[in-house]
Structure 1
């Protein structure tokens, strides 16, 4: 299966857009790059048997919840997100399919809502566990131990 190049995704999409909104730590860049590898294999823009969208495979309900219950109260971040992605108004979840910057920022915003601090940027196991706990959740199909190598790829990209 072919897809996007991980190095290009990390350095041309993830790192610049996170930096633009002030959320570009090394840990965040590696976490988000790894998340795209786990969730979409940098190939799928829509989940085959489900509603998830974009390279980070976020469900529309999660997207909407981020806007209604978080970004509504974080106007600076909401405005920076719109500006970074070239959008205005209340974005629709379908935007995550074709606007890669937007898909990354929405995934980062979901992680911002987690109570735990980000793991060390070079700890693939901790990044994988963090993804499972705070993004994929207990109900998701991801297996943290099986995804450590993907986070290792993200770190070394």
Structure 2
């Protein structure tokens, strides 16, 4: 299977999506791009032998938790996400597969819940460690050291 064009994904999907919800910037764009590269390689829309959905491999339970316990109390951000992704109401988790903009926005929203500041936009090791700590978690299979090269690719794209 051919790997998608990472620079194109970064600059035509992720960057505009995050700018539309006012949560862009180099650190956020590189973090979300690296997350997609680690989680799915921007190839898989569904986790193999698991429930996670979309390029960013978000579980439906996490999707629901973001809406019920985070975006519900941030209606301006929720409305920006809906407007950017062309959705209305309370979106179903299946939109993580079918709507790339929405998927990128929800990935960024998950990171926004973290109290720790984003790492430097050019520090691949720190971005990878942040992903492991706050997105993949200790229970996930990601390896921050091994994934540093993928975050460097995200930075370079």
Query: Which TM class, normalised by the smaller chain length?
Result: over 0.9
Q: CA RMSD in A?
A: 0.6
Q: Do structure 1's residue 133 and structure 2's residue 101 form an aligned pair?
A: no
Partner of 2:73: 73
Q: Do structure 1's residue 8 and structure 2's residue 8 form an aligned pair?
A: yes
Unaligned runs of 5+ in 1: none
Matches within 5 A, 1:1-157: 1-157=1-157
Tell me the alpha carbon deviations over residues 43-96 of structure 1, each in whole angstroms, 9 at most, x when there is no partner.
000001100000000000000000000000000000000000000000000001
Matched residues, number? 157
SS of residue paired to 2:61: helix
- Give the Cα–Cα distance (whole angstroms) in 2 for the partners of residues 116 and 100 of structure 1: 26
TM-score (norm. length: structure 2):
0.99
Deviation at 1:4, TM superposition (A): 2.2
Unaligned runs of 5+ in 2: none
- Give the Cα–Cα distance (whole angstroms) in 2 for the partners of residues 90 and 111 of structure 1: 20
Tell me the alpha carbon deviations over residues 6-42 of structure 1, each in whole angstroms, 9 at most, x when there is no partner.
0111000000010111101100000000000000011
- Give the Cα–Cα distance (whole angstroms) in 1 for the partners of residues 78 and 129 of structure 2: 27
- Give the Cα–Cα distance (whole angstroms) in 2 for the partners of residues 4 and 14 of structure 1: 14
- Give the Cα–Cα distance (whole angstroms) in 2 for the partners of residues 5 and 94 of structure 1: 24
- Give the Cα–Cα distance (whole angstroms) in 2 for the partners of residues 148 and 51 of structure 1: 25
TM-score (norm. length: structure 1):
0.99
- Give the Cα–Cα distance (whole angstroms) in 1 for the partners of residues 21 and 53 of structure 2: 22
